[in-house]
Amino acid sequence: MSLLFDLTRLMESGFEAAGIDPAFGAVSVSDRPDLGQFQCNGGLAAARTVGRNPRQIAQQVTDKIESDPRLAEVSIAGPGFINLSITDQALADYLEDAALDTRLGVAPAENPLRVVVDYAGPNVAKAMHVGHLRSTIIGDTLKRLFRLSGHQVLGDAHFGDWGLQMGMLIIATRRRHPDLPHFDQSYSGPYPDSPPISLTDLQEWYPQIAQEVEGDEQVANLARKATTDLQSGRPGYVALWEHFVEVSRHSQQQDFSDLGVEFDLWYGESTVAHLLRPLVDDFLARGVAVRSEGAVLVEVAQPDDKAEIAPLVLETSLGAFLYGTTDVATIQMRVEEMEADLVVYVVDARQSYHFQQVFRAAELGGLVGGTALEHVRFGTMNAADGTPFRTREGGVLRLRDLIEMVTEAAAARLDESDLAADYSPEERAVISRQIGIAALKFGDLINNRASDYLFDLRRFTALEGKTGPYLQMAAVRTGSILERAARKEWGPGPVQAPDHEAERRLMLRILQLPEVIERALELRAPNHLAEFAYAVAGDFSRFYESCHILSEPDPTRRASWLRLVETVRRVLALLLDLLGIEIPARM
């Protein structure tokens, strides 16, 4: 158990002995370290419940616990705040336990869940763009957090591959390659194995046909008809669609690989295609859905809604299914086939209305059962003027171009700082990519996910300050210290009671790790991990300046400090891994 957990249990016993609900005994890190290392504010809340003076309550509680040998000081401040500090030996004992624990004191979940994390959401025919970044890296961090906490987790890219855009691409391809056998309904196959189109073709054609569909109802009807034919299983269209998916996924997987992001599942909207017709028919038969002007829809509005909620359309009057339909069917699959306890959708806040419709439709249809559905929404990454980040020409910036941009900026930073100057070009390229990705990810994840933030390339790639590269530098430094010690055949030893304030603060900081992990997962908030990693790195820097580890003459003290350095290294490695950031071998 963690230090904070044990102090809370101790304080709870004090409240219980005073005849008060032990739930008031929660202990937290002190807001006033000059008064104590930890604090408990339960006396004030308890006073309102039991009708007694809060300071009197605090005194009764402290009388019960102050003899605990782990406590160096217990005091009461103000109207009844209880301040606690532990002995240096107790601090060393807790740090030693954490250091020897393979999980660094982070306890696994008592009741593991089956969790599906839906994130990234790439689409056929579209290169990954800057808008995919936040979903991808926030979702990846949440997946890693759930997994660290002992849950059974599956990360699903949820490929957008089965909507109207497929019909649009089919008619765009037919215009340019009308002689393809895919368009000959009398042709029985087999169809060519090699793709007749490239991703470049699709990316060029899609904006053009999308604009036409928006402005020309005749073209729109052709696209809708092609979509319906595809979803009805027309062989040539299905074969062509498979090529669309193949060339798109190959490119997107490279972008994900560069970001260090992997998926357990590459399911798409098409994965549930076989469920769509039975689902719609079932909803109609049970009165969950109704027909209106030829379309099938579910009324999802509720009497207490503060704003109007439109029905969710499951099937158009032309017989085509929409992405809302596939989303409802995907919930059905995840509940019935995957037996998920929790499904987390990491999607832009601008999709909140859509998920409200989809979740309600699934609940009305009896598809949800005991599964929790959760939309983890996030804001946008904006340019310096506060508008969504775009190219100089006003277009959407491709994710590939963004990755190259931060990599080049990282290489420039290395040059400015005269780092890695004697490394091979190949190693410099690897380090530049690692630093660039760290800058990009940390620059995003340090922000509250619900907030918009400004992309600042210069600030994000700095080697000092609250940046990903700074954390990489700190982690590399810990490794360097341990390597230099190993060359002298010096190794870590038992943790001794601290004798420097910087050492004490670093030890106290490390022991907060379990609660930081718990809070980040509970709030779905990667920024708590990023902030804590920065705090650990800062405390380590101050410790390094105050305690000259490798020149310490006392071998017992030196071994203790090496244990502390080793533990810092592991904590930073864990936090950076959760954030999806690699630690370079050297910088």
Angle between helices 513-522 and 133-148 (to 10 degrees): 130
Q: Read off the pLDDT of residues 162-216 as tens digits, 9 standing for 90 and up.
A: 888 999 999 999 999 999 999 999 998 899 998 899 988 998 999 899 999 999 9
The one-character DSSP state at 384 is T
- Beta strands of 391-480 (E only): which ranges? 453-454
Residues in the chain: 587
d(CA 232, CA 325): 15
> 152-156 and 114-118 as β-strands: parallel, antiparallel, unpaired?
parallel
Q: Distances in Å between the alpha carbon of 37 and those of 65, 85, 270, 418?
A: 16, 5, 55, 41
> 453-454 and 381-382 as β-strands: parallel, antiparallel, unpaired?
parallel
Quick one: pLDDT at residue 384? 81
d(CA 250, CA 255): 9
Quick one: pLDDT at residue 394? 58
Q: Is 112 exposed, middle or buried (0-12, 13-18, 19+ CB in 10 A)?
A: middle
The one-character DSSP state at 314 is E
Q: Distances in Å between the alpha carbon of 515 and those of 4, 511, 528?
A: 8, 9, 10
Q: Is 33 exposed, middle or buried (0-12, 13-18, 19+ CB in 10 A)?
A: middle
Domains along the chain? 3-86 (3.30.1360.70), 164-378 (3.40.50.620), 399-578 (1.10.730.10)
> 342-348 and 28-29 as β-strands: parallel, antiparallel, unpaired?
unpaired
Quick one: pLDDT at residue 391? 61
Answer whether 106's CB lies under 8 Å from 514's CB: yes
**One-letter amino acid identity for 20?**
I
Q: Sheet containing 152-156: give its strands across.
A: 152-156, 114-118, 342-348, 372-378
Answer whether 321's CB lies under 8 Å from 229's CB: no
Q: What contacts 251, CB < 8 A, 6 or more positions away?
A: 127, 128, 199
pLDDT, averaged per 10 consecutive residues of the chain (587 residues), comes to 96 96 97 96 93 94 97 96 98 98 96 97 86 95 98 95 92 95 92 90 91 94 93 93 91 91 94 96 98 97 95 93 95 98 97 98 97 97 81 73 95 92 94 98 97 94 97 98 98 97 98 98 98 98 98 98 98 98 96
> 312-315 and 295-298 as β-strands: parallel, antiparallel, unpaired?
antiparallel
Q: 375 phi and psi, to 5 degrees?
A: -95, 110
Q: Read off the pLDDT of residues 3-49 as tens digits, 9 standing for 90 and up.
A: 999 999 999 999 999 999 999 999 999 999 999 999 999 999 999 99
Place of tokens 């104590």: 36
Q: What contacts 102, CB < 8 A, 6 or more positions away?
A: none
Q: Quick one: CA torsion of 531, 535, 540, 542, rounded to 10 degrees? A: 140
Answer whether 559's CB lies under 8 Å from 494's CB: yes
pTM of the model: 0.94
Q: 526 phi and psi, to 5 degrees?
A: -60, -25
CA atoms within 13 A on the CB side of 271: 19
